[in-house]
Amino acid sequence: MKKKVKVLKIDLDKCVGCRACEVICSAFHAAPKYSIASPEFSRIRVFRDELRGTFVPVKGSFYTKAECPSRVLYFQNETPLSDWKREAYVVCSMCGAACPSRDLFKEPGTGLPLKCDMCENDPPLEEPMCVKWCFVDAITHEEFEEEVKEEVEFSELDMAIEALIDRYGWEKVSDAFGRMLFSKMGEEGL
Amino acid sequence: MRYGERGVSLEVDLSTGNIEKVETPLEWTELFLGGLGINAKLMWDRVGPEVEPFSPDNILIFSSGLLVGTPAFGANRTIITSISPQTLYLGFSMSGGHWAAQLKLAGYDRIVVKGRAPHLVYLWINDDKVEIRDARHLKGKSTYETMELIREELRDPRVEILAIGLAGENRVYFASIETYRGSASRLGLGAIMGDKNLKAIAVKGSKPLNIYKPEPFVKECEKIRDYIIYRLNNPIKGVPPILAYIGSPQEMKIYDEQWHLENFAWGHARVRRKGVWTKEIEERFAQAQKSAIKKFVGCYNCPIGCAATLALPGMPSYILKCYSKLTYLMAAMVDDLEFGLRIAARAQHYGVDGFTAPQVMAFAVELYENGILTDQDMPGFPSDPQERFFWLLDRIVRREGIGDVLAKGVYWAAREIGRGAEKFDHNTTKKHEQMTIKLGMLNPIYFLMYATGEKGNITQIEGQIPQAPLPPEYKEEFVRDWPQVPTGKEERFKQFILEWGEGDKVFPFYPPPDLCCELVEWQEIMHYIDDCTGICAGLSSFPIKPPYHIHNLPLLISYATGIEMSEEDLWTAATRVRNLVRAINIRRGLRRDEEKPPEDHWKKRFPEYEQELLTTYYRYRGWNEEGIPTKETLEKLKLDFVAEDFIKRGILKE
C-alpha cells in the first residue's frame, strides 16, 4: 500500500534555540485550539546548550516504558562533560522518546506521552505549525509517497492508554473504564 | 480567571525569608498594563523618596511583560526596576532572553524582592515551589559560571537564570544583571541585587498560560510573522543597513560598522573619526567577527536570532549583546574588533554595562593623560591602550584602588577625585553616561529626548522615524507604504518625511517645536508600550516600520487578556505609565535644571531656542514650567493618588 508521509527536516545550523516551535506546538494542540501556551506541553522540544552554541530540535516520537539500554554504554565513555550534562545534552539530545529516564515528551500533571502528529489531526494542516512558525527555516518538512505495510497504526489515544496500563496495570485500567462506561450508560438511560 | 497574565506577584522578603503569592487587581492591568507599568505603581506605593538605593527598604522588581509567554513573537522581555544607585532616580532596565517566559509559565507576572539576605543566596522557583537557597559557594563566580553551576546543581538545562557577577556583588554602580541571551545593563540594578545578597534567580515553569480569544490572537501573530519575513527580505531604502531591517542586526549579523564607527565619538566621547571605515578595516572586522561566531542565538519565541555565542581563544564563551562589540574598542581608541570582543567577554562575565563601563574607563585614561590621576593613584598602570582597559576593568569590578572610585561612574568619580576632574565629566545627563556623539548642528528632536528621557538611554526611546532626512528619491516610496503611523497623524508625519531636508527645512528650526513634540511623543509612547507588554523593541519601538505598531498592539492585548482596548486606550495607558515614572523621579527631586543633554553633543547650540523647545514640550505633555505633571494632567490620567501626594508634599499647589 502506498501512503503519503511527511517528515520534519532539521537544519541545525539555522536553529537559534528560540523555542517558537515549542510555543506554537503546545498552543495548536491545546483544546480549545490555541487557548494555552506552554512549551512543557509541546511535542517538539529544543535541546539547548547556549555557551556551546548547540540547539537541537527533536520531535516526540514514541512511548516506551523501559529506559534505553544504551544510556549505560554512554556513561561508560569518559568525556570532559559532567554526568548530568551528558545525560541532558549528549545521551538524550537526539531522542524523542517518552521514557522513564526524563520528563520530556510527557504532559505535565498527567505524565501521558506526547507524540508529534505532524499536525495531521483535527483538521489536518498542509504544513505543520512548527514549520510555519520557524520562519528562518531551521525546521522544514518534506512529503513523499512511501510503500507501507498494512498494519494497525497506533493513534495518540492508543499510546495514552498504553501508558496508563503501564502505570496502573491492565486490571485497574479496564476496571476504571468499565465503571465509567456503566455510569455513562446509566446517565443516558441505556 | 486571568488571561494573558497571571494576576499574581511573588513577594520575597530576603531579610525574613518570607515568601508570599499576592494577587494584583485586574484594574491595575487595565490602568498600567503590566511590566514597567505595574512595576512603577509598586515603586510609587512602596518606595518613598527618602529610601536610599542601598537600603533593605528599596525594592527590586523582576517582571515579565503583559504579553510574555503568549505566542506573540518576541514577547519575552524581563523588566527590572529599582532605585538606581547612580542616578538616585527610578532605574529600569530590560533584558531579552528566555527568563521572563519561564517566570510567567511558573505562574507569576513578577517577583518583588525586598530586604537583604544575611548571606549570599539565590532563588529557585519551580512552579509552586519557591526556595531561597544558599549561594555562598557561588561567591565571586562570573555571571555565566553562576548560570552553569546552578543548572548543574538543579540538574536541569531548561532552568533559566538571571545572575550577577563580581561587579554586582561588589555594588559597582553600573553592574548588570545577565542571563544567557540577555542583559539588563543600565542604571546599576546589578548592584542592588548584590546589595540584597541575591546572586541569582533560577526559574522553570510548566503551567499553561490562558489566552482569552485564541484563534484571533494567533491570526494576528501570523500577520506579524508575515510582516517580519517581508521586512527581512525588503530592507528600507535610503537608510543605513542597521536601520533597514528589524531585530538588532547591528549585534552580530551585520559587518558594516560604518554608521557607528564614523558617526559616534571615540575615546571618552571626544573624537569623531570620519573616514575610519576603510576597505582594509572592513575586511579585518568582518574576519574577526566571523571567526568568533560559534552560533547565532535567539530570544524566547523569536527565530530572528540577533545575538551570537562567541568563542575567542583563551576567553570563556559568552553571548554578545547589543553594540558592546564596538563600545570598548571605540572608547579605548583601538581599531581592532578582536580586542572589542575579548574585553566584552570578560566584562560580561563580570557583569557590567557595556555602555557605561567603557566610558568610565576612557574617562580614567583621560584623567591620567591630563595628570589628574597619577602613577601614585594608579600604580602599575600599563601604557598599552588595550592592557589599560583590562587593567581598569579588573580593578573596577573588584573595587581595588582607583577602581573603587571609578566603580561609581563618571559623575560621582569626577567629584570624588576632584582636582579638576569634574571638567572631564562632559557626557552625562542626570548623572548617567550618554550616547557618545559629537555632532555639528543641534537636533531638536533628540535634544528633547535626551533632556526629558527617563531611561537614561537614548536607544531606549528612539525609533519609528529615520534619524536623518531620507534621500529625495526614496521619500515618496517611504510614505506610500507606512501603516505604522498613529491614527490622525498620517498626513502630518508623511508631510514631515517629504519636506524634511528640503530647502530651509533643516535643523535646528525644522521640525518646528510642536511637530518635534509629536514626534518625540510617538517614539516614547511606543517604547513605553513595549516596556509594559514585554515585546522586544527590535520588533516594535526601535526600528523604522516595525511589525508591531499602535494599530495591532491593542488587538493583541485585547485578544490575550480579554480587556477591551482601543488604540486610544493603549496610548493613554502608556502615557499614564510615562507620567507615573516621571512622578517617581519628580518626588525624588528631578526638576527642569537637570533636563539637559551633554553640552558638547552638538557644536552649534541655541540656548534660548532650546529652552523654548523644552517649555513647548512640557506644555504639550501637560507639565508645568518645572516639568512636573499638573494636577489636571494627573487627574485626567487617573493618577489622582500622585496629585494628592504632590500637593501634600508641596510639589504642586492646590
Q: Are residues B139 and B12 in the same domain?
A: yes
- Is A51 an 8 Å CB contact of chain B? yes
The verdict on residue B588 lying in a domain is no
**A85 and B298 in contact by Cβ < 8 A?**
no
Find the CB nearest A84 among B73, B152, B304. Answer: B152
State the count of interchain CB pairs (< 8 A) between A and B. Answer: 121
- Please check whether residue A20 touches B, CB under 8 A: yes
> Cell 567603557 maps to which residue?
B358
| Chain B environment of A129 (Cβ under 8 Å) | none
Q: What pLDDT does A93 receive? A: 77
pLDDT at A78: 56
What is the pLDDT at residue B21? 98
Whether residue B304 and residue A136 make contact (CB cut-off 8 A), yes or no, is yes
What φ, ψ does residue B91 adopt, rounded to 5°? -110, 120
Whole-angstrom distance, CA of residue B504 vs CA of residue A153? 76
Whether chain B has a CB inside 8 Å of the CB on A94: the answer is no
Q: What is the pLDDT of residue B249?
A: 64
Alpha carbons B405 and B396: distance in angstroms, whole number: 8
Give the closest of B214, B229, B305 to A16, CB-based: B305
The answer to whether residue A105 sits within a structural domain is yes
Cross-strand pairs, B125: B130, B203
Highest mean pLDDT (candidates A32-41, A170-179, B258-267, B637-646): B637-646
Given B387, B417, B433, the domain boundary residue is B433
Answer whether B209 sits within 8 Å of A38, measured CB to CB: yes
- Which chain B residue lies closest to A93 (C-alpha atoms)? B157
pTM, 2 dp: 0.95
Query: Are B296 and B414 part of one and the same domain?
Result: yes
Distances (CA, A) of A168 to A161, A162, A183, B385: 10, 10, 21, 70
pLDDT of residue A74: 61
Closest Cα of chain A to B271: distance in Å? 36
Region of B254 (left: φ > 0; alpha: ψ -120 to 50; beta: rest) is beta
Same domain, B265 and B160: no
What is the spatial distance between Cα B403 and Cα B393, in angstroms, rounded to a whole number?
8
Minimal C-alpha gap between A12 and chain B (Å): 10
Last residue of a domain, one of B149, B173, B204: B204
The domain containing residue B117 runs over which residues? 8-204
Q: Is residue A100 part of a domain?
A: yes
Range name among B236-250, B391-405, B478-492 with the lowest pLDDT average:
B236-250
| Angstrom distance (rounded) from CA A12 to CA B5 | 33
Contact status of A86 with chain B (Cβ, < 8 Å):
no
CB–CB contact A51 B303 (8 Å): no
CA distance B324 to chain A (A): 18
The pLDDT of residue A76:
60
Asked whether residue B211 is assigned to any structural domain, the reply reads: no
- One domain, residues B180 and B253: no
Q: Does A107 touch chain B (CB under 8 A)?
A: no
Quote the domain boundaries for residue A95: 2-146+162-187
Task: At B194, give phi and psi (nearest 5°).
Answer: -65, -40
**Least confident among B246-255, B299-308, B337-346, B420-429:** B246-255
- From chain B residues 441-480, the ones with a CB under 8 A of any chain A CB are none
Which residue, among B206, B223, B245, would best test binding to A if mutated, counting the most A CBs under 10 Å from its CB?
B206
Residue B374 inside a domain? The answer is yes
Residues in B closer than 8 angstroms to A17, CB to CB, are 297-298
Pick from A173-177, B264-268, B353-357: least confident: A173-177
What residues form DSSP beta bridges with B162?
B201
Give bridge partners of residue A146 from the DSSP assignment.
A3
**In angstroms, rounded to a whole number, what is the distance separating the alpha carbons of residues B72 and B67?**
7
Domain assignment of residue B444, yes or no? no
A37 closest CB neighbour out of B144, B209, B309: B209
* B97: Cβ contacts below 8 Å, ≥ 6 apart: B76, B78, B160, B179, B180, B181, B182, B299, B300
Total structural domains within chain B: 2
Residues of A in contact with B245 (CB under 8 A): none
- Does residue B263 belong to the interface with chain A, where contact is any CB pair within 8 Å? no
Give yes or no for A17 touching B (CB within 8 A).
yes
The cell for B531 is 516596556
Task: Tell if the CB–CB gap between A40 and B105 is shorter than 8 Å.
Answer: yes
Edge-first strand order for the sheet with B129-134 is B129-134, B121-126, B198-204, B160-163, B177-179, B182-184
Interface pTM (ipTM) of the complex?
Answer: 0.94
- What are the cell numbers at B348? 560580561
Residue of A24, A50, A82 with shortest CB distance to B309? A50
In this predicted structure, the answer to whether residue B320 has a pLDDT above a threshold of 60 is yes
Which tops the pLDDT comparison, A1 or B10? B10
Residues of B (156-185) whose Cβ lies below 8 Å from A: 156-158, 180-181
Residue B105 cell numbers, joined: 509559565
Q: Compute the distance between CA of residue B72 and CA of residue B64 in angstroms, rounded to an integer.
A: 14
Sign of CA dihedral B446, B451, B454, B458: positive
Question: Cis before residue B249, ω within 30 degrees of 0?
Answer: no
Model confidence pLDDT, tens digit, residues B541-584: 999 999 999 999 999 999 999 999 999 999 999 999 999 999 99
B597 neighbors B453 (Cβ within 8 angstroms): no
Handedness of CA B26, B32, B36, B40 (dihedral sign): negative
Average pLDDT score over chain B: 96
Cβ–Cβ < 8 Å for B71, B217? yes
Are B308 and B167 found together in one domain? no
Q: Which three cell numbers stand for residue A9?
A: 527536516
User: What is the rounded average pLDDT of the residues B412-424?
Assistant: 97
Q: Are residues B176 and B309 in the same domain?
A: no
* Amino acid at position B400, single letter: E
Q: What is the pLDDT of residue A70?
A: 66
Between helices B567-587 and B553-561, what is the axis angle to 10°? 90
pLDDT in tens, B597-631: 999 999 999 999 999 999 999 999 999 999 999 99
> A interface mutation test: which of B253, B296, B312 has the most A CBs within 10 A?
B296
- Position B576 in a domain: no
Q: By the CB < 8 Å criterion, does A80 face chain B?
A: no
pLDDT tens string B219-255? 999 999 999 999 989 999 999 887 888 877 656 777 7
CA-CA distance, B394 to B84, in Å (whole number)? 23
Alpha-helix residue ranges (DSSP H) falling in B114-204: 143-154, 166-169, 189-195
Contact assignment for A19 to B301 by CB distance below 8 Å = yes
Continuous H helices in B399-443: 402-406, 409-417
Whether B147 and B51 map to the same domain: the answer is: yes
CA B224 centroid distance within chain: 24
CATH code: domain of residue B360: 1.10.569.10
Q: How many domains does chain A have?
A: 1
Task: Tell me whether residue B526 is in a domain.
Answer: no
Residue B138: which CATH number? 3.60.9.10
Out of B401, B433, B465, a domain closes at B433
Of B157, B217, B225, the CB nearest to A48: B157
Closest alpha carbon to B497 in B458, B540, B464, B523: B464
CA distance B485 to B415: 45
Instruction: Look at residue A107 and tell me if it is in a domain.
Output: yes
Lowest mean pLDDT among A173-187, B130-144, B418-432: A173-187
Torsion sign over Cα B308, B312, B316, B322? negative
Question: Using a CB-CB distance cutoff of 8 angstroms, which residues of chain A are in contact with residue B311?
Answer: 53
pLDDT of residue B75: 98
Contacts of B209 in chain A (CB under 8 A): 36-38
Burial class (CB in 10 A: 0-12, 13-18, 19+), B116: middle
Whether residue B42 lies inside any domain: the answer is yes
User: Is B165 in the same domain as B294?
Assistant: no
pLDDT digits (tens, 9 = 90+) for B505-548: 999 999 999 999 999 999 999 999 999 999 999 999 999 999 99
Residue B263 vs residue B252, higher pLDDT: B263
Q: How far is CA A158 from CA A109, A115, A153, B516, in A?
A: 19, 11, 9, 65
Residue-wise pLDDT tens digits, B93-116: 999 999 999 999 999 999 999 999
Give the pLDDT of residue A102.
82
- Mean pLDDT in consecutive groups of 10 residues from the start of chain A, 190 residues: 87 96 96 91 94 93 82 59 66 84 88 92 89 96 82 73 87 89 79
| Whether B29 and B152 share a structural domain | yes
Residue B150 resides in a domain: yes
Residue of A25, A29, A34 to mutate when probing chain B, most B C-beta within 10 A: A34
A134 touches chain B (CB under 8 A): yes
Answer yes or no: do A36 and B311 touch at CB < 8 A.
no
Q: Where are the alpha helices (DSSP H) in B255-317?
A: 258-263, 279-292
Q: What are phi and psi of B20, to 5 degrees?
A: -135, 150
